[in-house]
Chains A and B, each alone.
Chain A
Amino acid sequence: MTITKMKLSDILKQFKYIEPDAEFSVRSRTEILLSPQAAPRTWRSVFTVLHMVETGAAVALAGFFIFILAGSFSPTRSIAPIQYAVIDPAGLHAEAQAIDMQIQLTDVEYPQVTSTAATSTASAAISSAFAGAVAAQPTSSVSVSTLTAAPVVPTSTASTTALSVDQVLQQLSQ
């Protein structure tokens, strides 16, 4: 006898007598009711937005640092320009050139000072040759006495040799 020959409705009705295991029901019920409920939707929305902001900020910050590192950014140049203004290339160049000039002048003056006595006595002829020209210019009497100090003013030998070579040459040319 097939099922369809029987009352199918009776068989289907018998499914309704199926009951879950009582022990399972009690255990499941207890576990479910002890478990925490999900946060309200509003709080979940707030947490979601905060999480998105946090992620976005992290990505933006990482991108910013990558940009700085890749672009050879110098914080000392852009953030504190006043403290490092002396590192101006043009100023440094001018200052370096000025230092070089002083060194050259010092180098030039030193042998001149040391050889003043010798030249002042040995080149008496030269100084006498220029004496006329020097005497014609009263304003340059000091410079002349520098080179020819010994014969004119015996007490001031090399102490007044601060005049530069250029000035002397210029005066000589005149």
Chain B
Amino acid sequence: MIDGEEEQLIRSAVGGDSSAFGSLYDRYQPAIYRFILVKVGSREEAEDITHHVFLSAWQKVGTYKHRGHPFSSWLYQIARNMVIDHYRSRKDDVSLDKLDPESSIIPAVAQFDLFTKMQLEKVRRAIAELKTDHQDVIILRFIEDLPLKETAAILKKSEGAIKLAQHRAIKELKKKLGDPEGDDNYENEII
């Protein structure tokens, strides 16, 4: 649900008020950046894509139609499409072995100790190996803690389909991380 302040900001931004859009940028830019960074793995690429997401949003905000979902849903949808376009433009499958050492989230998590950084990078790579829909579900549901309804709106699926997808995504992620049997307890904790 969006509060009255956000609704007013959206209305002003749709009318072309740059300061209102600036406030929306400040509010949602970190989450959009994280969403992109976990998927692409490179801080530079994540910054470029994030910039283009908000630039596109600013240029198209006049056409925004409020349908009861938070403004972030619209931004996530733009970000999703831009990441897909980004991989299409690269035209080659990036293997984990070929990844540039600089292409990691480690520079973006400077505040953590080395062990935590390595853990985060390992998990991020495992997430990046999942299907796109599973990546999105894990990021939105388990990293950003978005409610089921908003996740369903962003991914344009039913809530039931999202529940099923997150079940499969967690199971797949655990396999990637070295637990072939998976651990359904974690998913149960989340849900």
Contact = CB atoms under 8 A, between A and B. Distances in A.
Given A4-B178, A8-B173, A11-B120, 19 more contacts: A2-B177, A5-B179, A8-B170, A9-B186, A9-B189, A11-B119, A12-B142, A14-B112, A15-B124, A15-B139, A18-B33, A19-B108, A20-B30, A21-B43, A25-B29, A28-B47, A32-B54, A32-B55, A35-B58
B33 to A, nearest CB: 4
B104 to A, nearest CB: 12
Contacts of B26: 29
B60 A38 contact: yes
Contacts of A5: 179
A18 B119 contact: no
Interface residues on A, range: 20 to 34
Contacts of A3: 119, 122-123, 177-178
Given A12-B138, A20-B47, A40-B62, A29 B177 contact: no
A28 B25 CA distance: 10
The 7 closest A-B pairs by CB, nearest first: A4-B179, A20-B33, A38-B59, A33-B18, A28-B51, A15-B143, A2-B178
A32 to B, nearest CB: 5
A33 B178 contact: no
Interface of B: 16, 18, 21-22, 25-26, 29-30, 33-34, 37-38, 43, 46-47, 50-51, 54-55, 58-63, 105, 108-109, 111-112, 116, 119-120, 122-124, 138-139, 142-145, 170, 173-174, 177-179, 183, 186, 189-190
A154 B98 CA distance: 132
A15 B55 contact: no
A20 B46 CA distance: 9
Given A3-B177, A4-B183, A15-B34, A37 B58 contact: yes
9 contacts: A3-B122, A8-B123, A11-B123, A17-B112, A18-B30, A19-B33, A25-B29, A28-B51, A35-B59
